[in-house]
Amino acid sequence: MLIHSASQLLTLAGGPQRGDRLGQLEIIPDGAVLVEDEQILAVGTTQALRSAYPDEPAVDAYGKVVMPGFVDPHTHAIWAGDRSAEFELRLQGKTYLEILEAGGGIISTVRATRTSSLDKLLNETRPRLWTMFNHGTTTAEVKTGYGLRTAAELRMMQALLILNGEGPLEIVPTFMGAHAIAPEFRERPDDYTNLVSYTMLPILKDWWEQQAPFDRLPFVDVFCETGAFSLEQSRQILVRSKELGFPLKIHADEFDNLGGASLAAELGATSADHLVVTSAEDIRALAHSETVAVSLPCTPFGLAEPHYTPAGQILEQGGLLAIATDLNPGTAWCESMQFAIALACRYLHLTPAQAIAAATINAAAAIDRSDTIGSIEAGKQADLLILNVSDYRHLGYRFGTNLVQTVIKKGHIYHV
């Protein structure tokens, strides 16, 4: 199939974009892409590809932007239950950490998730995944973390594998047994930390090795935060994970600075996420590492808080910056990377081109998939979007509506 006549074909070719290189869209005007089966075969101008491949079935993208599918590298898209009442409490002045401390927040979703059947969990999650897909996300990282017990965490993982199998959204799974201290361990956080480190992780590893089509181990993530896991507890879990061969992620500096970002850099984590109250020293450590800094602008927006990731400092220091939605029932119920881009332009002060690179090729790097997705290059997976606009800057500039017309996932066409 030949997708042709795009007003702007954003290829994002050339790999992840560090520091001031961020924002290189590598645009081909009047661009075309040749797709065969699940793969991109060739990329070029309409004229060049049409004469080289005259007999291919054509998809006319005249006057439209064609770009790589969005990669959402941080979500908690799987859960059961409802937290709308909590939103109201927050509007009346309660803080997120106060609600968590009082046994609400994450723990209220844990109660609902533990008691729901696998089917109920799948049925509540599936529509969110479709909403993500229809808004242009072709691959999403999704975390467990509302089970906080071995069996309940594995059931969430099982559900993620089932949902990934159903498609079309491709799911990159993360184990987050360390999302909060399980309620039974409220007074014994070190015991829960040991349970995650020495019981859950080895069981997960054995279980995983029996899940046939998944060759790569899932990520392990820890919520390093006041009221969740201390820096030392986070270190214990991540070091243990690393010993077992799991790739690492961390939630750091969402509310308090505990040093989680520097820990991520030290341990060679794939990403460090949130990064709102990150110190200059942490930023330097991150920028001098391979760890991707993932900003989640929907979260302060969702919490109506005024502070966002100091993206300018991260880029100045030469860091690798990505953005994600953080889709979750507590702080940011947002399925749309387009909205994350709109916020990133306003509050991280990124240009649309920078935000688009952060949402595609750099987001792919944040889940260690930049060799197969995140750009339009020969040999990569055919995950593409056709937008209803002729200039890419409409992403960021416009918000609250969906600019995606067509999603192409592994070469299959879905009209939105």
Residues near Fe ion (CB under 5 A) are: 326
**Residue 235: which of ligand NIG, Fe ion, none does it interact with, CB under 5 to 8 A by kind?**
none
Measured from the CB of residue 279, what is the shortest distance to Fe ion in angstroms? 20
Q: Which is nearer to Fe ion, 326 or 335 (CB)?
A: 326
Q: Which is nearer to Fe ion, 141 or 383 (CB)?
A: 141
Radius of gyration of the chain (CA): 21
Part of the chain binding ligand NIG (CB under 6 A), chosen from 147-155, 324-332, 343-351, 372-380: 324-332
Q: Does the protein bind ligand NIG through residue 76 (CB under 6 A)?
A: yes
**Residue 331: which of ligand NIG, Fe ion, none does it interact with, CB under 5 to 8 A by kind?**
ligand NIG
| Strand spans (E) along 11-73 | 27-36, 39-45, 58-60, 65-68, 70-72
Give the alpha-carbon dihedral of 369, 336, 177, 273, to 10 degrees: 70
Q: Does the protein bind ligand NIG through residue 72 (CB under 6 A)?
A: no
d(CA 55, CA 59): 12
Q: Which is nearer to ligand NIG, 177 or 330 (CB)?
A: 330
Q: Does the protein bind ligand NIG through residue 331 (CB under 6 A)?
A: yes
Measured from the CB of residue 53, what is the shortest distance to ligand NIG in angstroms? 45
Q: Does the protein bind ligand NIG through residue 254 (CB under 6 A)?
A: yes
x-marked contacts with ligand NIG along 198-237 as a string, rule CB under 6 A: -------------------------x--------------
Q: Which is nearer to ligand NIG, 83 or 155 (CB)?
A: 83
Q: Does the protein bind ligand NIG through residue 249 (CB under 6 A)?
A: no
Q: Does the protein bind ligand NIG through residue 106 (CB under 6 A)?
A: yes
Part of the chain binding ligand NIG (CB under 6 A), chosen from 40-48, 103-111, 115-123, 201-209: 103-111
What is the DSSP annotation of 270-287? SEEEE-SS--HHHHHHHH
Residue 384 identity = L
Q: Does the protein bind ligand NIG through residue 328 (CB under 6 A)?
A: yes
Q: Does the protein bind ligand NIG through residue 272 (CB under 6 A)?
A: no
Helices (H), 84-177: 84-91, 96-101, 106-114, 118-134, 150-166
Part of the chain binding ligand NIG (CB under 6 A), chosen from 182-190, 235-243, 328-336, 370-378: 328-336
Q: Which of 8, 75, 109, 144 binds ligand NIG (CB under 6 A)?
A: 109
What is the DSSP annotation of 166-214? H-SSEEEEEEEEESS--GGGTT-HHHHHHHIIIIIHHHHHHHHHT-TT-
- Bridge partners, 409 (sequence order): 412
**Residue 105: which of Fe ion, ligand NIG, none does it interact with, CB under 5 to 8 A by kind?**
ligand NIG
Per-residue DSSP letter, 69: P
Number of residues interacting with ligand NIG: please give it, by CB under 6 A.
13
Phi, psi of 340 (to 5 degrees): -60, -40
Q: Which residue has the tokens 């950490």?
A: 97
Phi, psi of 248 (to 5 degrees): -115, 150
CB count within 10 Å of CB 55 equals 6
Q: How many CA atoms lie within 13 A of 85 on its CB side?
A: 7
Residue 3 identity = I
Cis amide bond preceding 352, omega within 30: no
* Residues at the interface with ligand NIG (CB under 6 A): 76, 105-106, 109, 223, 251, 254, 299, 326, 328-331
